[in-house]
Amino acid sequence: MAFEWLEKRRLLSTVDAIVPADPEPDPGRTSLEVSGDSFDPPPPGTPPSGFSVDDVVMDEGGVGASTNLVFSVTRADSAGTASVQYATASSSAASGSDFTAHALTTLNFADGEATKLVTVVVSGDAAVEADETFTVDLSNPVGTGIDDGQGVGTIRNDDTASLTVAPVSASEGDAGSTDFVFDVTLDAAVQGGLQVAIDTSDGTATVADSDYVANTGSTLTFAGSAGETQSFTVPVSGDTTSEADELFNVALGALSNLGAGIDSADITTVDGTGTIQNDDGATLSFNDASAPENDGEIVFIVTLAGTSDAFTVDFATADIAGQAVAGTDYTATSGSGGTALSFSGTHGETATVTVTLS
């Protein structure tokens, strides 16, 4: 039966349409119908005898790179001469931009020759995209039939992109709010665009202390162009408190609305920070003090002007040349660590330093 089917296939390969002559074929035989240049699959158990082309998968390469996808066109029986034609066809990959198309071309096989190679040049780019495909299609066989007439070329994406939050550092102001505007930049094209979630979180600046207003749960939408920038705002609250510069964090969260076939693992995110620069001041001042020597001590008052975070400050007495001398006229004193002057940061707050007179 296999021999009979093969002979029919060879005989009918150039006929547009042939219908079996026997309207009631023998159930033990497999009939064959050929329409145009296509063939039905061989009957079960029939060994391969005709042309076939394999599938090829390969990374596309970077911008300006050319990658060769090499397809093998083989025939199962290499005896005698034979020929087959092939051409490429676009699927999700576009000819011209993704690969170089081949028009209908004839492959001639010499007696004993079993394989010929078809090379399709693929053009690299920097865009994150779905894997793309095209086909190499066989037709018009001479000398044998076609067993597998379509080879699929898969151009595998090997590009990546990143979304980066640019840090912002600015003064807070004395009152009201100041908008910190954060730019998020997409460094490479992403086919079909995407959305990314935004989330702020406390650092040394906190929402509880009214340092800034959280921006959580909103999203940025990117069309997917290389170098594209989208922005969002975080309000920062002004005050008149002298304090250290404070930080809060800005994180990029989950990606969504990615194009079909885009792998989110190919897109990384880089978080940023907002630095609230202190633009307030506070001062400490000692008063001048005097007392009769027989009073036994002099009390100095240290006053805070302006508000600030809580802090401590060291102090120490020192001689003035030609004036009082420590050990003779007074007892030297100092404070640091646990004995330093301590302030909660309230405007007008005072602390005292007592010096013993000799």
Q: What is the CATH number of the domain that holds 104?
A: 2.60.40.2030
Q: Do 53 and 72 touch, CB atoms closer than 8 A? A: yes
Which of 93-107, 207-221, 282-296 is least confident?
A: 282-296
Does residue 73 carry a pLDDT above 70? yes
Distance CA 238, CA 246 (A): 12
Alpha-carbon torsion angle 203, 206, 207, 208, nearest 10: 140
Question: 225-245, pLDDT tens digit by residue?
Answer: 999 999 999 999 988 877 889
Q: Residues 63, 41: one domain?
A: no
pLDDT of residue 2: 36
Domain range for 329 is: 283-356
Mean local confidence (pLDDT), 141-164: 97
- 187 in the same domain as 250: yes
Domain count, the chain: 4
Q: What percent of the chain has pLDDT over 70?
A: 86
Instruction: Work out the pLDDT band at 338, boundaries 50, 70, 90.
Output: confident
- The confidence score (pLDDT) of residue 49 equals 77
| Residue 266 phi, psi dihedral angles, 5° rounding | -85, -5
Nearest-angstrom CA–CA distance, 188 and 198:
20
* Residues 230 and 306 grouped into a single domain: no
Stretch 102-114: mean pLDDT: 98
- Is 64 found in the same domain as 21? no
Query: Which is more confident, 82 or 11?
Result: 82
What is the mean predicted confidence (pLDDT) over 269-275? 97
| pLDDT of 353 strictly over 50 | yes
Terminal Cα distance for the chain, rounded: 129
Residues 228 and 260 in one domain: yes
Domain end call among 250, 277, 304: 277
Residues in the chain: 358
Predicted confidence band at 175 (pLDDT cuts at 50, 70, 90)?
confident
Greater model confidence, 54 or 49:
54
Closest CA to 263 of 125, 158, 130, 164: 130
| 199 and 292 co-located in one domain | no
For residues 240 and 294, membership in a common domain is answered with no
Q: What pLDDT is stored for residue 14 in this prediction?
A: 36
Q: Tell me: pLDDT of 34 over 60.
A: no
Instruction: Give the domain-ending residue among 115, 137, 158.
Output: 158
Residue 308, pLDDT score: 76
Q: Which two tokens stand for residue 227?
A: 């170098």
Residue 123's identity, in one-letter code, is S
Are 150 and 238 members of one domain? no
14-41 mean pLDDT: 42
Q: Higher pLDDT residue, 126 or 20?
A: 126
8: left (phi over 0), alpha (psi -120 to 50) or beta: alpha
- Of residues 63 and 82, more confidence is placed in 82
111 and 64 fall within a common domain: yes
Between 15 and 60, where is the model more confident? Answer: 60
Domain C-terminal end among 277, 298, 329:
277
**Residue 162 to residues 216, 227, 269, 280, 296: CA-CA distances in angstroms?**
21, 10, 5, 38, 72
**91 and 69: one domain?**
yes
Torsion of the alpha carbons at 169, 173, 175 and 177, rounded to the nearest 10? -30
> How confident is the model at residue 44, as a pLDDT?
63
Query: What span, in angstroms and rounded, lies between the C-alpha atoms of 169 and 182?
Result: 10
Range from 28-42, 176-190, 326-340 that averages highest in pLDDT: 176-190
What is the 3 state secondary structure string of 247-292? EEEEEEEEEECCCCCCCHHHEEEECEEEEEECCCCCEEEECCCCCC
User: What was the pLDDT predicted at 43?
Assistant: 61
* 175 and 245 co-located in one domain: yes
Q: Taking a C-beta distance cutoff of 8 angstroms, is the pair 192, 300 a contact?
A: no
One domain for residues 26 and 74: no
Out of 34-38, 109-113, 154-158, 194-198, least confident range: 34-38
Q: Residue 8, SS3?
A: helix
Query: What pLDDT, on a 0 to 100 scale, did the predictor assign at position 281?
Result: 64
